[in-house]
Structures are given as structure tokens and as C-alpha cells.
Amino acid sequence: MAISSANNPVLLEDVGYRINDIPVLSGVSVRSESMRIGVIGRNGSGKSTLARLIAGLLEPSEGQIRIEGVDVYKDRRAAIRTVGILFQNPEHQIIFPTVSEEIGFGLRQLGASKADAVTGTQKLLARFGKAHWQDAPIHALSQGQKHLVCMMSVLAMRPRLLVLDEPFAGLDIPTRMQLTRHLNDAGTRLLHITHDTRDLEDYDQVFWLDRGRLRASGVARQVLQDFTQEMVRIGGGDDLSLLAG
């Protein structure tokens, strides 16, 4: 299996993002050729903002973002084939009442005919062992199953990079394990954003985001260890002003 994507970096150069002139992210520079990139940070450190910037859903206030050479905000046509994103809450992602409509929509966006979208959806559901979900109303599915629908919908579009914005928060351990296995089997390049070190233990490279700035980066073991130490230190103090929103 390929362990790097050498000429196709995830590249952020001095990226800043401000809301009403208040900086949410400042001077974020990332260059990674890894297949599994992790971003760790506390609540409120700017992770979801970073996820949306990398997916091209927000325009950086400063700096540049190139995902495998694509300017994902400006070039939306190229971006939908380049980056997919999974959000923490499936309700923020799902727009259609049935599973097959949800999955088929992405394929139609990529230019598939109606008939090809139907066939593609059937094939994908079969690959995940969920052929019987075709006409299932999404509202009747469990939370973990809704996550799987979102994952299938994004993977159907075969993005070169999949951004995960804490998609496993709040799920039980077996569900996390099953969804992780599906992701691994898909073989897609991942950029996983989380506050939970468990999600990133076997990642290639981890970036630590702290109050909108990059605090450290390197091999997963070292960065996660330093992050945990700092979290324990903060947690042991009694300065409530350090409680993130």
C-alpha cells in the first residue's frame, strides 16, 4: 500500500481566518505528503474552521490552500473530485429522505446520468453489505447507521482526500471500530481532525492546533504524548477561564 502521496501535498501556507475581524486561525502552515494526516486540538481551537477551509467551503482571509494542486475554494469543479468532508453531525450533511437519493446525489453532481447514478448507488450499497438499505428512510436509521450513510455518500464521489471533522464523537466503541474499518478498506487518503488522541494513534503525521495556531507537528506518538501531557496539566489547574467554549 502506498504510504505517501509525494507529489500531491496537502499544502497550507500561512493561512488565517477571521470572523468579524477576530482571528479564529492565524499563520497556519501545513505541508504533508502522508496518506493519514491527523489534526489534534481542544474544543474551540479552530478545528472545524480548518476542516471547512481544507474542504474549500470557506475562503481563507489570508494565505493559500492547495490540496493536491487544487485551489479548493476558487475551483469548485475540481474541488468536488478532490476533497470530501464528513461532519460530526450527520444531520448537517444529509439532505434527502432515502439512502439511495442521498448517495445518488453525489454521483449526479459528478456528472453521472440518472441511470448511472442508480446503478452506482446499488453497487456501492452492495459493497458495504447494505443492498437492503436502498429505499430505507434515513430518519429511521440509528445514529451510527446515519454516519455510515454519510460515509458511503462521500466515498461514492471518490475524493482524493477525505476530511473527517470528529465524525466519531459520541459513537459507541463497536460503531467507531466498524466505521474505522470501512474507512480503512476504502483506501482513501485521510485528514482526521479530532480532540481524541485515540483516533490518531496509528496516523503518519499529526498537527496540534492550539487557539488557532499550530503548536507542534511530527510523528503521531510524540505529538499525541505532548498534547495529552498539556491537557492533563490544564485539567489539573483551577483557572476556569481556560475552559474552552
Ligand X SMILES: Nc1ncnc2c1ncn2[C@@H]1O[C@H](COP(=O)(O)OP(=O)(O)O)[C@@H](O)[C@H]1O
The residues of the shown chain that bind ligand X, judged by CB under 6 A, are 19, 24, 41, 43-49, 245
DSSP 8-class letter at 3: -
Considering the complex, state which of residue 29 and residue 122 has its C-beta at the smaller distance from ligand X.
29
CB 207 within 8 A of CB 214: yes
Find the binder of Mg ion among 4, 8, 29, 48 (CB under 5 A): 48
Considering the complex, state which of residue 43 and residue 142 has its C-beta at the smaller distance from ligand X.
43
Min CB(47)–ligand X separation in Å: 3
DSSP 8-class letter at 4: B
- Residue 49 contact, options ligand X, Mg ion, none, Cβ 5-8 Å cut-off depending on partner type: ligand X
CA dist 174 → 19, 148, 186, 229 (Å)? 38, 13, 19, 27
CB atoms within 10 A of CB 61: 16
Considering the complex, state which of residue 22 and residue 115 has its C-beta at the smaller distance from Mg ion.
22
Min CB(217)–ligand X separation in Å: 17
> For Mg ion, how many residues bind (rule: CB under 5 A)?
2
Considering the complex, state which of residue 92 and residue 114 has its C-beta at the smaller distance from ligand X.
92
Considering the complex, state which of residue 151 and residue 193 has its C-beta at the smaller distance from Mg ion.
193
Alpha helices, H only, the chain:
47-54, 76-82, 99-109, 114-127, 143-156, 173-186, 220-236
What is the pattern of x (binds Mg ion, CB under 5 A) and - over residues 158-197?
----------------------------------------
76's CB contacts (< 8 A; 6+ apart) are 56
Q: Between the CA atoms of 226, 19, 79 and 1, what dihedral angle is there, to the nearest 10 degrees?
A: 0
The residues binding Mg ion (CB under 5 A) are 47-48
